[in-house]
Each structure stands twice: as C-alpha cells, then as structure tokens.
Chains A and B, each alone.
Chain A
C-alpha cells in the first residue's frame, strides 16, 4: 500500500524529519505551500531515500520565487498532476 505524503511547512518545522520516520520505499513526497522551501537548493533533501519520489507544487514554487535546479531529483507538478498523484497512491498522509 503506497502512500503520498504531503509536506506543507518550511524546513524550520522539521516536518520532513517526522515524515521520513514514517516513509517506506515506493512512497512519494509532495511539497506544497511553505513545504516547497524544501525544494530550494535541495535543502535537507539528501536525507530522502532513492526509492522515494519527490514532487513540488509548481504554483507554490512560482509564488515564492523558487526554481527547481537543473538535474534535480524533484519533479515540479501542477494541480492536475496533484490530483493524479492523490488517486495513484493508495493513501494520502498530510504533514502540517
């Protein structure tokens, strides 16, 4: 049963650390709202296992002046893909 984890607070919240305690291979993390600051220069992301896919919500990235670096493992997605991810994974767990 794969899980989509959403993280919606900035790294100051240490939510990613909490999330990583509960994550399994094959799960995915979607950074939304202030969570997209985790995508900035791959802040703290070296801790995420390779078997976990990372996404950042494009609208939230754009609003905050953030770009995902070239060659980054994080994929930028829009609202449509957000919905697709919610249906693709068996469950959604929100970290906020």
Chain B
C-alpha cells in the first residue's frame, strides 16, 4: 500500500447501543499506526460519542469519550463533526470532549471524494 493512501472513517452510532463505534476507532487507530492518512468523521448519532462527562462504569462498559482522546495521540488530527447532526441534536462544539471541525454537506463530499478508502460504520 502506498504511503499516500488516505482513509476516511465515518462513525454514525451512539456510543453504547452497539460496538460499531469501538470497531471504527480500533480500525482507524490501526490505519494510523501504519502511517496512513486518516480522516475521522462523526455523523448522525455518532456525535453523541463525543459528549463530555461520560462514565460507562455504571453500565459496565468502557467509556468511549475518553478512548476518543487517543485519536490525537495516534496523530489523527483530521477530526470532523457533521454540522447538521450537531444542530439536530442541540449540540455545540463546547459540549464535546475533543476539538473537532464542523463540516457541511459540501465539505463532507470533498473529504470523501479525496479519500482512497471510506469506512462507513
């Protein structure tokens, strides 16, 4: 695989209803370890993964909000949240556990068309 291969991961599920968010994160971190260009996009209920003050001990799960802080440690800087999904849920950037860039439909289209591979979980 070439060094310039770029991946976009779209995560669209709330953090604890199923394990898709964890799978998506693990796959993205693995891609990043192999020095691939990674974009990470939170969309629909996926934006709920970023809410502050999560504590999944109460439901015997791993807190996803804190796990997402590892995106930065793995060098994944291109973290996006889909603006419409935030608006629909009355969420603002200051509600989120990490800093992310709000993107519109148009920007999402550009990100996808510029990517070699898109994972949609």
B73 close to chain A: CB less than 8 A: no
Rounded to whole Å, the gap between the CB of A55 and the closest CB of chain B is 16
Find out whether the CB atom of B53 lies under 8 angstroms from the CB atom of A34. no
Q: Which of A46-54, A62-70, A85-93 contacts B (4 or more CB under 8 A)?
A: A62-70
Interface secondary structure of A, over-half rule: helix
Interface string of B61-73 (1 = CB under 8 A from A): 1010100000000
Q: Which residues of B contact A (CB under 8 A)?
A: 14-17, 44-45, 48, 51-59, 61, 63, 65, 89-90
Find out whether the CB atom of A65 lies under 8 angstroms from the CB atom of B59. no
Find out whether the CB atom of A10 lies under 8 angstroms from the CB atom of B59. no
Q: Which residues of A contact B (CB under 8 A)?
A: 9-12, 33-34, 37, 40-41, 43, 58-60, 62-67
Q: Which residues of B contact A66 (CB under 8 A)?
A: 51
21 A/B residue pairs, CB under 8 Å, sorted by A:
A10-B14, A10-B17, A12-B45, A33-B17, A34-B14, A34-B16, A37-B45, A37-B89, A40-B89, A41-B90, A58-B58, A60-B59, A62-B55, A63-B54, A63-B56, A63-B59, A64-B15, A64-B16, A64-B54, A65-B55, A66-B51
Rounded to whole Å, the gap between the CB of A47 and the closest CB of chain B is 15
Find out whether the CB atom of B59 lies under 8 angstroms from the CB atom of A43. no
Q: Which 10 A-B pairs have the closest CB atoms?
A: A65-B51, A65-B54, A59-B58, A65-B53, A34-B17, A63-B56, A63-B59, A41-B90, A62-B58, A34-B14
